Amino acid sequence: MPGALIHLCVSAQSLSHCELITDDGIRALSSSTCGQERLTVVELDNCPLITDVTLEHLKSCHRLERIELYDCQQVTRAGIKRIRVSGNQTQTITESAGELISYFLKLLCSVIL
């Protein structure tokens, strides 16, 4: 029944306000076949346990177009910058969402400084 499983895969995952989601949870999502091949949007707004490690995990999601990180206070400017300058598929993703990344950087600057 491998064909049935593919129908359960989603292209967008909203985990916003999930206070218990961690980097390990995102690792599990991003390392799955569905995450790597179908995930286009992941919303992580107000997830207090998410860190830069999550951004590294999400690099394996080849179709990812948008990551929402509003009020993820443990995600740093350096973490976002590493995704922006990486030479893999994530570079294409962040370039296509350049305004969003720019907004995140401004938001993080105001929170961190």
Per-residue pLDDT of the chain (113 residues; tens, 9 = 90+): 444 434 456 788 888 999 999 999 999 999 998 888 888 889 998 999 999 999 999 988 888 888 888 888 898 888 887 776 654 444 333 333 444 555 555 555 655 54
In a domain, 83, yes or no: yes
- Mind listing the pLDDT tens digit for each residue in 22-44? 999 999 999 998 888 888 889 99
Angle at 25 between CA 94 and CA 58, to 5 degrees: 15
User: Pairing mode, if any, of strands 66-68 and 12-14?
Assistant: unpaired
In a domain, 3, yes or no: no
Instruction: Identify the CATH number of the domain in which residue 47 sits.
Output: 3.80.10.10
In a domain, 21, yes or no: yes
60-87 burial by CB neighbour count: b if 16+ within 10 A, else e? Answer: bbbebbebbbeebeebbbebbeebbebe
In a domain, 71, yes or no: yes
In a domain, 5, yes or no: no
Domains held by the chain: number: 1
Q: Can you give the residue range of the structural domain that contains 92?
A: 11-112
In a domain, 2, yes or no: no
Residue in this structure with the two tokens 């999502």, named with its chain if needed:
29
Query: How confident is the model at residue 93, as a pLDDT?
Result: 32
In a domain, 36, yes or no: yes
